Amino acid sequence: MKQQSRGANAGLVAALPIVIGYFPVAMAFGLLAKTVNISLWDTCLFSLVVFAGASQFMALDLIKAGIAAGDIILATFLLNLRHLMMSASLAVRCENVKRGWLPFIAFGITDETFSVASLQNGKLSARFLLTLQVLAYAAWVSGTLAGYLVGAALPVAVQSSLGIGLYAMFTAILVPEIKRSANVLYLAAMSGTVYVISDTFQLLPAGWALIISIITASVAGLFILKDDTKEDAM
Amino acid sequence: MTSYLPLIIGMMLVTYLPRLLPWIVLSERPLHPLVRRFLLYIPYTALGALIVRGVMEAPTGMTAATLAGIGVSAVCSWFKGGLVLSVAAAIIAVLLVIS
C-alpha cells in the first residue's frame, strides 16, 4: 500500500453519519423486540450476529404475525441477496487485503457501510473498511441494548416515532435511486402493487407476500424494462 | 419467553453467506447478464414492498403518521439527499403529527 490509500482516520470520519443514523433505529429495534416479548439476550444476539437492520425489523414483524421460523429465514435470505452485489462490487476495489480480514469485512457489509464505502475515491484499504464497520456495528449493538433497557422510559410519542426511522431510511435510500433512473420507480411500484394486491385479497400465506412481490416484480422488470444497469451504474 | 436461537442462527447464515461469498470467489467468471440484472433489481423491489408493507401494517392510528414520515423523508432525500437528515426530519414530522 504505497500511495494514498485511506486509513483509520478517514474511516472514522466516514462512519459518523452512519453512527448517528443507526443509533435511534437500533433503539427502535431494541424497544420493539421487548414489546414482542423477546428476551434481552436474544435481542442483543440478533444485533450481534445478524447485523442487518431491515431483516431484523422484518423478523420482528413476522414473529408478531406468528410466521414460522423457516419462512422468516427464507424471507431474510431473499432480502439479503442484494448484499451479494454489494460485496462483489467492493471486493474488486480492495487492494492488498490479507485474506484473514475478509471474513470480518464481509460481515460488516450493510446498505449503509456499502453506500459510504463505495462513494470513496480510489482503492479501499482494510483499515478504512474495518474502522467504518466496527463503529457502525458498535452503534447498532449499543443502540439495541439502550432501546431495550431504557426505551420504555421515553415519552410514548418518541417511542412511536423511533420506529418510523426504518421506513424513513428505506425511503431515503430509494428516492435518490429513483432520481437517477425511472426504472427504479417502476420496480418499486410494481413490487408494492403486487404486495397490496396479494395482501388485500389474502392470496398467499402470510410472510410469502413479501417474497413473491420481490420476485414477481424483479422478473417482470427483466422483460418490461430496458436494461440500464450497464457497468457500475447500479 | 420463547428462545429464538434457531431463528437467529438461521438468519445469521443467510445474511452472512451472501456478504461473504463474493470475497471468496473474487475471480469467478461473471454472472449471466439476466441473473445479474435480477439481483440488481432486488434492492428496489424489496424496498418498494417493504415501504408499502410499513404503511399497510402500521399500528392502529399510526397510518397517517407513517405516511407523513415517509413523505417527509421522500421530499427531503429528493431535494437534499443524506440519510441522517431525512431520517431525522421524518422522526420529527411523526412526532409532530401524533403529539
Beta-ladder partners of A124:
A94
Whether B52 is covered by a domain: the verdict is yes
B64 in the same domain as B51: no
pLDDT of residue A149: 95
pLDDT of residue A234: 44
Of A55, A173, A174, the CB nearest to B11: A55
pLDDT of residue B12: 96
Count of the separate structural domains present in chain B:
2
Structural domain of residue B64, as residue ranges? 59-99
Whether B37 is covered by a domain: the verdict is yes
- Residues A165, B91: contact at Cβ < 8 Å? yes
Whether B1 is covered by a domain: the verdict is no
B83 in the same domain as B68: yes
Chain A residues touching residue B53 (CB < 8 angstroms): 61, 195, 199, 209-210
B90 in the same domain as B64: yes
CB contact under 8 A, B44 and A174: yes
Show the cell assigned to A40.
434481552
CB contact under 8 A, A214 and B46: yes
A137-196 pLDDT, tens digit each = 999 999 999 999 998 888 888 877 777 777 887 898 889 889 989 999 999 999 999 999
Q: Which of A29-33, A161-165, A227-231 has the lowest mean pLDDT?
A: A227-231
- Distance (Å) from the alpha carbon of B31 to chain A's nearest alpha carbon: 11
Chain B residues touching residue A195 (CB < 8 angstroms): 48-49, 52-53, 56
- Name the burial class of residue A212, with classes exposed (0-12), middle (13-18) and buried (19+) by CB atoms within 10 angstroms of its CB: middle
pLDDT of residue A230: 56
B51 in the same domain as B64: no
d(CA A76, CA A71): 8
- The mean pLDDT value for B87-99 works out to 87
Of A112, A170, A218, the CB nearest to B41: A218
- Which is more confident, A151 or A232? A151
Task: Calculate what percentage of chain B has a pLDDT beyond 90.
Answer: 36
> Letter for the amino acid at B54?
G
Helices A69-80 and B33-56: crossing angle in degrees, nearest 10, is: 120
B94 in the same domain as B63: yes
Whether B20 is covered by a domain: the verdict is no
User: Does residue B71 register a pLDDT over 90?
Assistant: yes
B74 in the same domain as B48: no
B71 in the same domain as B42: no
- Which is more confident, A126 or A192? A192
CB contact under 8 A, B78 and A210: no
- The mean pLDDT value for A87-106 works out to 83
B94 in the same domain as B79: yes
CB contact under 8 A, B84 and A52: no
B96 in the same domain as B79: yes
pLDDT of residue B36: 75
DSSP label of A225: S
B70 in the same domain as B53: no
Residues whose CB is less than 8 angstroms from the CB of residue A70 and which lie 6 or more positions away in sequence, other chains included: B10
CB contact under 8 A, B8 and A45: yes
pLDDT of residue B29: 58
B4-42 pLDDT, tens digit each = 999 999 999 999 999 999 888 765 556 678 877 887 787
Whether B13 is covered by a domain: the verdict is no
**Sign of the CA dihedral with B29 first, then B30, B34, and B39 last:** positive
Whether B89 is covered by a domain: the verdict is yes
pLDDT of residue A5: 55
B96 in the same domain as B68: yes
DSSP label of A201: T
pLDDT of residue A229: 61
B67 in the same domain as B42: no
Q: Which of A84-93, A95-104, B55-64, B72-81 has the lowest mean pLDDT?
A: A84-93
